[in-house]
């Protein structure tokens, strides 16, 4: 068995803990919730900071409305989340009040975090709450969810939040003891895996992607979350949320659950955000000079170098930059919309104002908001 070192409050101070729906629903759900609050209070007493990502709005909504089967339609899921979320928060609030801890609710959509400005606002809010000694509790804002652009599930959201707050550790609490070398529902002989150095194709093959009855993501999504965290240099612990004391055990170095190594931090700051978040909404084809400047010089992209604008996008959205041969140069955030860029492409900086009647900036994409394809691999 892989030997584990203690993850102390000095080395692993800031934690993001994600709680799955399966842990909070069912006859034992409330007991688990109370025990998780007790663990979080103990972690804070050790001098650690904790951000919770809590699923369970839809499962709570189901319980309130007496539904036994998860509805399939999106409008029903959105409405269920709206019914369940306030109760979910009330239950957390009560659970933490035993330890004189206050909670705060943060509901986010993928679109929120894909906008750099809103991303930074979310970070600032979280920093302020932590400085005030409050336990932030985050969930996806399911009431407005759009299937194609949702985070996928809270496993992914928690990995993004871990990067956003610069966490030292991500903890995923599920209804299973650990990652097994095969889906234990179909392979009763499957063995737990205590340590994963790197989430690669072989590891991904072990996981089933269908969730339990109330969950959304399944084990595959937990592995993808661990991979996301790994890219940011953050280790992940997968633990049984049905036994919340496993958090304390794992942090003491006991071999419970599965520990995914943090690995080499591949990205940080804006580059990490560009890697993880915005989905490119369009393409800019640039001329040879601009392609060279972007690739070699770390330059900004000026409208003069743009030959063609493809797709519909607004200011602040991500676009791909391609050379004339169609090769991807990188991804960046635009200072002008697609309609504006179509009018000012190939034109000199000094002409922008005359053409549009105003000028946002000289650059179509500023170098600080551009990441080369090689940096995003
Ligand atoms: N290789 C595997 N190891 C462990 N669990 C697995 C594996 N493959 C599939 N699973 C299933 O994944 C489930 C956990 O995912 P999910 O239902 O999304 O939980 P949660 O609600 O905690 O997010 C487990 O209950 C388990 O049945
Ligand atoms: N946002 C949803 C949960 C989505 C989700 O990822 O659920 P789970 O797989 O149980 O962590 C809700 O609150 O019902």
Output the tens digit of pLDDT for each of the chain's 377 residues: 457 999 999 999 999 999 999 999 989 999 999 999 999 999 999 999 999 999 999 999 999 999 999 898 999 999 999 999 999 999 999 999 999 999 999 999 877 887 878 888 999 999 999 999 999 999 999 998 876 556 668 999 999 999 999 999 999 999 999 999 999 888 999 999 999 999 988 999 998 766 666 656 689 899 999 998 998 899 999 999 999 999 999 999 999 999 999 977 766 677 777 777 778 889 999 999 999 999 997 899 999 999 999 999 988 788 999 999 999 999 988 989 999 999 999 999 999 999 999 988 899 998 878 888 877 66
- What secondary structure does DSSP assign to 302-359, as a single string? PGGGEEEEEE---TT-EEEEE-TT--EEEEEEESS-HHHHHHHTT--GGGHHHHHSS-
> Closest ligand 1 atom, CA of 206?
1
Beta partners for residue 136, in sequence order: 104
Atom of ligand 2 nearest to the CA of 61: 14
Q: Is the CB of 21 under 6 A from ligand 2?
A: yes
Ligand 2 neighbourhood includes 58 CB (under 6 angstroms): yes
Cα(222) to ligand 1 centroid in Å equals 8
Q: Is 87 annotated as a binding residue?
A: no
Closest CA to 345 of 358, 356, 329: 356
Is residue 330 marked as binding? no
Atom of ligand 1 nearest to the CA of 174: 22
Q: Which residue has the tokens 């240099």?
A: 233
CA of 70 to the centre of ligand 2 (A): 12
The C-alpha atoms of residue 330 and residue 45 are separated, in whole angstroms, by 45
Q: Which of 257, 276, 247 minimizes the C-alpha distance to 110? A: 276
Instruction: Indicate which residue's Cα is closest to atom 23 of ligand 1.
Output: 20
Q: How far is the CA of 36 from the centre of ligand 1 (A)?
A: 19
User: What DSSP assignment string belongs to 142-158?
Assistant: GGG--GGGS-SSHHHHH
Cross-strand pairs, 331: 320, 371
Any idea which architecture 14-272 has in CATH?
Answer: 3-Layer(aba) Sandwich (3.40)
Would you say 153 and 21 are in contact if contact means Cβ atoms under 8 Å apart? Answer: no
Residues carrying CATH 3.40.1160.10, the chain: 14-272
Residue 211 CA to ligand 1 centre (angstroms): 6
Q: Which two tokens stand for residue 117?
A: 């400005």
Atom from ligand 1 closest to the CA of residue 23: 22
186 known member of a binding site: no
User: Is residue 281 a contact partner of residue 318, using CB atoms and an 8 Å limit?
Assistant: yes
- Is the distance from the beta carbon of residue 156 to the nearest atom of ligand 2 less than 6 Å? no
For the CA of 150, the nearest ligand: 2
* DSSP character at residue 301: B
- Structural contact between residues 244 and 178, judged by C-beta atoms closer than 8 angstroms: no
Query: Is-contact 344 351, C-beta < 8 A?
Result: yes
The whole-angstrom separation of Cα 8 and Cα 99 is 22
pLDDT at residue 216 in the model:
61
Residue 312 buriedness (CB in 10 A; 0-12 / 13-18 / 19+): exposed
Q: 298 C-alpha to center of ligand 1: Å?
A: 43
Residues with CB under 6 A from ligand 1: 20-23, 174-176, 179-180, 182-185, 206-208, 211-212, 215-219
Ligand 2 neighbour 175 (Cβ under 6 A): no
**What's the complex ipTM?**
0.94
What stretch(es) of the chain map to CATH 2.30.130.10?
Answer: 280-376
CA distance 207 to 224: 10
Give φ, ψ of 238 to 5 degrees: -100, 120
Interacting residues of 31 by C-beta distance below 8 A, sequence separation 6+: none
Q: 176 CA to middle of ligand 1, Å?
A: 6
Q: Is 63 left (phi over 0), alpha (psi -120 to 50) or beta?
A: alpha
Q: How far is CA 17 from CA 59, 137, 218, 331, in A?
A: 19, 10, 17, 31
Does the domain spanning 280-376 belong to CATH 2.60.260.20? Answer: no
To 10 degrees, what angle do helices 269-276 and 154-164 make? 170
* Closest ligand to Cα 58: 2
Is 25 labeled as ligand-binding? no
Report whether 174 belongs to an annotated binding site.
Answer: yes
* Residue from 183, 192, 224, 257 whose mutation best tests the ligand 1 pocket (most atoms within 8 A of CB): 183
Distance 18 CA to ligand 2 centre (A): 10
């Amino acid at each position: 068995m892989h030997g584990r070192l203690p993850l102390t409050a000095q080395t692993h101070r800031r934690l993001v803990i994600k709680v799955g729906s399966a842990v909070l629903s069912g006859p034992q759900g409330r007991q688990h919730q109370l025990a998780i609050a007790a663990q979080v209070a103990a972690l804070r007493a050790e001098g650690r900071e904790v951000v919770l990502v809590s699923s369970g709005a839809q499962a709570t909504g189901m319980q309130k409305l007496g539904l036994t089967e998860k509805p399939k339609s999106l409008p029903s899921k959105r409405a269920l989340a709206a019914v369940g979320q306030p109760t979910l928060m009330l239950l957390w609030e009560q659970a933490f009040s035993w330890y004189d801890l206050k909670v705060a609710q943060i509901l986010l959509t993928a679109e929120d975090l894909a906008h750099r400005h809103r991303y930074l606002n979310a970070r600032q809010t979280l920093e302020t709450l932590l400085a005030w000694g409050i336990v932030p509790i985050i969930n996806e804002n399911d009431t407005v969810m759009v299937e194609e652009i949702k985070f996928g599930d809270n496993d992914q959201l928690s990995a993004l939040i871990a990067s956003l707050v610069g966490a030292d550790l991500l903890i995923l609490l599920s209804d299973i003891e650990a990652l097994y070398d095969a889906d234990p529902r179909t392979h009763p002989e499957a063995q737990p895996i205590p340590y994963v150095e790197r989430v690669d194709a072989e590891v991904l093959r072990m996981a089933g992607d269908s969730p339990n009855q109330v969950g959304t993501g399944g084990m595959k999504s937990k592995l993808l979350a661990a991979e996301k965290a790994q890219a940011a240099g953050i280790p992940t612990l997968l633990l049984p949320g049905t036994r919340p004391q496993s958090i304390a055990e794992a942090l003491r170095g006991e071999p419970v659950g599965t520990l995914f190594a943090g690995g080499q931090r591949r990205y940080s700051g804006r580059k990490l955000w560009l890697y993880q978040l915005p989905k490119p909404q369009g393409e800019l084809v640039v001329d040879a000079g601009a392609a060279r400047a972007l690739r070699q010089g770390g330059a900004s992209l000026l409208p003069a170098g743009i030959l063609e604008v493809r797709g519909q996008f607004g200011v602040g959205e991500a676009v791909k930059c391609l050379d004339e041969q169609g090769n991807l140069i990188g991804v960046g955030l635009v200072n002008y919309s697609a309609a504006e860029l179509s009018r000012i492409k190939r034109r000199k900086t000094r002409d922008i104002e005359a053409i549009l009647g105003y000028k946002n900036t000289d650059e179509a994409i500023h170098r600080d908001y551009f990441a080369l394809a090689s940096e995003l691999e």
